[in-house]
Amino acid sequence: MEKHVVVIYPHPDDESFGAAGTITQFRKQGVPVTYLCGTLGEMGRNMGTPPFANRESLPEIRKEELVKACNVLDVELKMLGYRDKTMEYEDRGEVAAHLKGILEEIQPSLVITHYPDHAVHPDHNALGAAAIEAVRLINPEKRPTVWAQAITNTYYEEIGIPDISNDITHYFDTKMEAISAHSSQVDGILSQFTQKDGEYIINEDIKERFSTEQFFTWNFED
Amino acid sequence: MKTIDSNEVQEILNDFVEKDVYIHLETTNGAYASHLDENAYNVGAYIRNAQVSFNQAKIIKDDKIYRVGLKLEMGWIYAEGLTDWELTEKKELLLAGHDRNGRLMVALEISEVPFQY
């Protein structure tokens, strides 16, 4: 069993879309989970449907949504204080050192982050790379395992099949509840499959998209 | 935010003329544009808290959308596709263009105090 799991993603909602089921699975086993959230998603393009946020009010709104989602997922939240869409311009070594300091304090047995160059958003790629660098800097005997999440359309062809595949069907409702907490970003998406009484129309597409969470165990030997 | 009323916005623009102001200007089609459509390109730019002074400011209606041009001593600032506006408690003028799904396409914001960073 894991001792402590640390999830490192850059945007409020990455945790819910990416790993909510896996996180819930760990919490049900009594494993502490900490989410290090890189930014407040300040530059998000979605403003709610219909829009209720604007460019200046969005950070506070997304922070509240993040706290709500973390309560749903029952995880400890640490906000790293970077700015949306700028992570790739930060000094990689500085971000890695920042993360390493936090990881050495928590001493997790597992770190979950994005797979660099296979995570679509520049912030995902940059924070994933910094997180992996942070773990690489830790003494190999104390190094936590890293699970890296790839989400490009081409990762199967380019890096293969993820070795970790979690069927999270049991935690589907919790995942949907966590995703729903991020109203400003997901109202539009959720309205496509929400019935009038608020029940989700769970078709095969959604099930396939949300019921499996996959990760590559990072190989530090390379 | 509410639908742009040119008269109201023009009045507020006039108040900023010949003052040192901070600008936030951006346009984006989202970080996932080419992920969701392989024929699309990701396009975006933003500048935040650029300090400028303009001597003319004009909002122009074109069908359902608006354009705003600010004339600087040695240049121009321009935004097209604006649909909505708001004046915040901090007297920040927020102008934004949203698509049919309410997603932000373009923003032009003007304030006498820096935008929160």
In 3-state terms, what secondary structure has residue A28?
helix
Q: What type of residue sits at position A105?
A: E
Helices A172-181/A183-191 angle, 10° precision:
120
Does residue B51 belong to any structural domain of this protein? yes
Answer yes or no: is B11 within a domain. Answer: yes
Confidence of residue A194 (pLDDT cuts 50, 70, 90): low
Model confidence at A67: pLDDT above 70: yes
Mean pLDDT along residues A23-30: 98
Whether residue A93 is predicted with pLDDT greater than 90 in this model: the reply is: yes
- Residues in chain A with CB shorter than 8 Å from the CB of B44 are 85
pLDDT, tens digit (0-9, with 9 covering 90-100), for B45-100: 999 999 999 999 999 999 889 999 999 999 999 999 999 999 999 999 999 999 99
List the single residue in A54, A85, A122 with the smallest CB-CB distance to B86: A54
CA distance A23 to A20: 5
**pLDDT tens column, B30-47:** 888 888 888 989 999 999
Q: In A, which residues are within 8 Å of B116 by CB distance? A: 56, 59
pLDDT confidence of residue A198:
59
Q: How far A31 CA sits from the closest chain B CA (Å)?
A: 33
Mean pLDDT of the A19-24 span: 98
Please report the pLDDT score of residue B38 as a whole number.
Answer: 87
B31: CATH: 2.70.180.10
Residue indicated by tokens 């990689």: A92
pLDDT averaged over every residue in chain B: 95
Domain presence at residue B116 = no
Architecture in CATH of A5-217: 3-Layer(aba) Sandwich (3.40)
Mutate to test the interface with B, among A39, A56, A157 (most CBs of B within 10 A): A56
Mean per-residue pLDDT, A129-138: 98
% of chain A beyond a pLDDT of 90: 87
What's the pLDDT score for residue A210? 80
Contact (CB<8Å) A45/B103 = yes
Angle between helices A172-181 and A14-28 (to 10 degrees): 140
Instruction: Provide the domain count of chain B.
Output: 1
List of residues 6+ apart from A118 with CB closer than 8 A: A125, A150, A151, A152, A155, A158, A159
Higher pLDDT, B64 or A3: A3
Residue B88 lies in a domain: yes
Give domain status of residue B91, yes or no. Answer: yes
* Residues from chain B contacting residue A122 (CB–CB below 8 Å): 31
Say whether B102 and A48 touch across the interface (CB within 8 A). yes
pLDDT tens, position by position, A109-128: 999 999 999 999 999 999 99
* Residues of chain A neighbouring B98 (CB-CB closer than 8 A): 47, 51
Specify the pLDDT at position A196: 58
pLDDT band at A202 (very low <50, low <70, confident <90, very high): low
Pairing label, strands A76-79, A33-37 = parallel
Residue A191 banded pLDDT, cuts 50, 70, 90: confident
B 34-73: CB under 8 A from A: 35, 38, 44, 46
Please give, rounded to a whole number of angstroms, the shortest distance from the CA of A199 to a CA of chain B.
Answer: 22
Tell me if chain A has a CB within 8 Å of the CB of B114.
Answer: no
Contact: A45, B28; criterion CB under 8 Å: yes
- Domain hosting residue B102, numbered range: 2-66+76-111
Contact B31 A54 (CB under 8 A): no
Mean pLDDT across A48-71:
96
In a domain, B107, yes or no: yes
| Pair of tokens at residue B19 | 């003052």
With respect to residue B104, please indicate whether it lies within any of the assigned structural domains: yes
Q: Helix/strand/coil (H, E, C) string of chain B?
A: CEECCHHHHHHHHHHHCCCCEEEEEEEECCCCHHHHCCCCCCCEEEEEEEEECEEEEEEEEECCEEEEEEEECCEEEEEEEECEEEECCCCCEEEEEECCCCCEEEEEEEECCCCCC
pLDDT (average), residues A60-84: 98
The percentage of chain A sitting over the pLDDT mark of 70, rounded to a whole number, equals 92
Chain A residues near residue B47 by CB distance under 8 angstroms: none
pLDDT of A63 > 80? The answer is: yes
- Looking at residue B32, its pLDDT comes to 86
Mean per-residue pLDDT of chain A? 94
With tokens 């396009």, the residue in question is B43
Task: Please determine, for residue A209, whether its predicted confidence score (pLDDT) is greater than 90.
Answer: no
More confident residue, A71 or A187: A71
pLDDT at A204 over 80: no
